[in-house]
């Protein structure tokens, strides 16, 4: 870390549900802060501005001088205005040419210490990004209305679909139904059905019930977990094939759902089965570590 002596680097990871910031000084973590999403499309401008302000205030940046470089990785960066929103609030904290803004999934490989490989992130949604020989590809990440299979929102939506199908065939809701009704406050399946449509643009509010579904003893939970894991494997395989079908690239899995034991095991096994011989790992550090690494690279190239 001697090469980073004296450097003050800021990394920010902004997901669809949560955000995390890390300040490193001289190669060591000096401060960290956490909060809800500061993604412009996911949170809206008011919450995004408030969250970003709190994240930076909690790091006490104003008391420790200028920053040498900043990297922010954010969900929803393709939405018009999202990149400009971050640039307008962060550029003044560092010198020109040392602010890097990327998608949040682009933090995973550098956080794992890799420059080449495939990263699959499963949180509220799902997406894969692969990098190899100077080329980067993205598979999925279309959002909850058009894709995000295997992500937290999808897991809960599939559970509701199972429950509605049971109702249509005269079967009881079972343990999963009882658990979801209790968690959401819905009085019955009809009320749960209505609730889904009353909150169509709040995927994170449904994704928070994903662990309940994955951990349920209900038979439907195992089916949903298997299908979700197969989706993770399909994303990894598609990204790997798009980059170079003739080589075996390492695959790194990350995201909030990987904290669930059943999901993590199923996803790792599915990738290993789909891509035999591939090195599969679960990200040990937080993706924000990748933001610090990219900030350091900005310093080196400036």
State how many domains the chain has: 2
Residues 200 and 202: their CA atoms lie apart, in Å, by: 6
> Does residue 33 fall inside a structural domain?
yes
* Whether residue 291 sits in one domain with residue 278: no
Claim to verify: residue 15 and residue 87 sit in the same structural domain: yes
**pLDDT for 200:** 66
Establish if 126 belongs to a structural domain: no
Q: Are residues 199 and 297 in the same domain?
A: no
Asked if residue 1 has pLDDT above 60, the reply is: no
Give the pTM.
0.84
What b/e readout covers 15-48, taking b as 16+ CB neighbours within 10 angstroms?
bbbbbbbbbbbeeeeeebbbbbbbbbbbbeeebb
Contact status, residue 237 vs residue 193, Cβ threshold 8 Å: no
Residue 14 lies in a domain: yes
pLDDT tens-digit series, residues 68-94 = 899 999 988 888 889 999 999 998 888
The average pLDDT across 45-60 equals 90
Same structural domain for residues 21 and 70? yes
63 and 161 share one domain: no
Provide the terminal-to-terminal Cα distance of the chain, rounded to the nearest Å: 19
> Domain of 46?
2-112+285-301
DSSP for 205-257? HHHTTHHHHHT--SHHHHHHHHHHHHHHHHHHHHHHHHH-TTS---EEEESGG
Which of 226, 12, 8 shows the shortest CA–CA distance to 104?
A: 12
Q: Is the pLDDT of residue 3 over 80?
A: no
Residue 135 lies in a domain: no
Q: Is the pLDDT of residue 21 over 90?
A: yes
Q: Which residues are CB-neighbours of 130 under 8 A, at least 6 positions away?
A: 117, 118, 119, 136, 137, 139, 239, 240, 242, 243, 249
Tens digits of residue pLDDT in 219-252: 999 999 999 999 999 999 999 999 887 888 999 9
Are 156 and 278 in the same domain? yes
Residue 118 forms part of a structural domain: no
**Spatial contact of 121 and 105, defined as CB atoms under 8 Å apart:** yes
Q: Name which residue leads in pLDDT, 143 or 272.
A: 272
Same domain, 275 and 166: yes
Q: What is the pLDDT of residue 63?
A: 52
Domain of 181, CATH number, reads: 3.30.420.40
Tell me, yes or no, whether 224 and 290 share the same domain.
no
């Amino acid at each position: 870390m001697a090469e980073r002596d004296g450097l003050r680097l800021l990394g920010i990871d902004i997901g669809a549900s949560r955000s995390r910031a890390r300040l490193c000084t001289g190669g060591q973590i000096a401060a960290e802060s956490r909060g809800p999403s500061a993604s412009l499309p996911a949170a809206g401008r008011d919450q995004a501005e408030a969250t970003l302000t709190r994240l930076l205030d909690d790091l006490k940046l104003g008391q420790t001088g200028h920053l040498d470089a900043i990297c922010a990785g954010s969900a929803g960066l393709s939405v018009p205005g999202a990149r400009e929103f971050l640039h307008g609030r962060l550029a003044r904290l560092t010198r020109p040419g040392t602010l890097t803004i990327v998608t949040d999934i682009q933090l995973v490989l550098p956080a794992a210490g890799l420059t080449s490989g495939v990263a699959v992130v499963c949180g509220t949604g799902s997406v894969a990004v692969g990098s190899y020989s100077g080329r980067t590809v993205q598979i999925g990440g279309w959002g909850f209305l058009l894709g995000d299979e295997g992500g937290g929102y999808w897991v809960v939506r599939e559970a509701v679909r199972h429950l509605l199908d049971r109702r249509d065939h005269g079967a009881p809701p079972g343990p999963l139904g009882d658990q979801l009704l209790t968690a959401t406050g819905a009085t019955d399946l009809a009320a749960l059905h209505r609730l889904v449509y009353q909150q169509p643009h709040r995927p994170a509010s449904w994704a928070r019930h994903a662990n309940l579904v994955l951990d349920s003893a209900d038979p439907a939970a195992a089916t949903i977990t298997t299908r979700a894991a197969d989706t993770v494997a399909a994303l990894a395989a598609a990204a790997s094939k798009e980059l170079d079908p003739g080589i075996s690239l390492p695959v790194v899995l990350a995201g909030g759902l990987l904290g669930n034991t059943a999901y993590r095991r199923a996803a790792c096994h599915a990738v290993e089965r789909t891509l035999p011989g591939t090195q599969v790992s679960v990200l040990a550090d937080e993706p924000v570590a990748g933001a610090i690494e990219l900030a350091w690279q900005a310093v080196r190239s400036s």
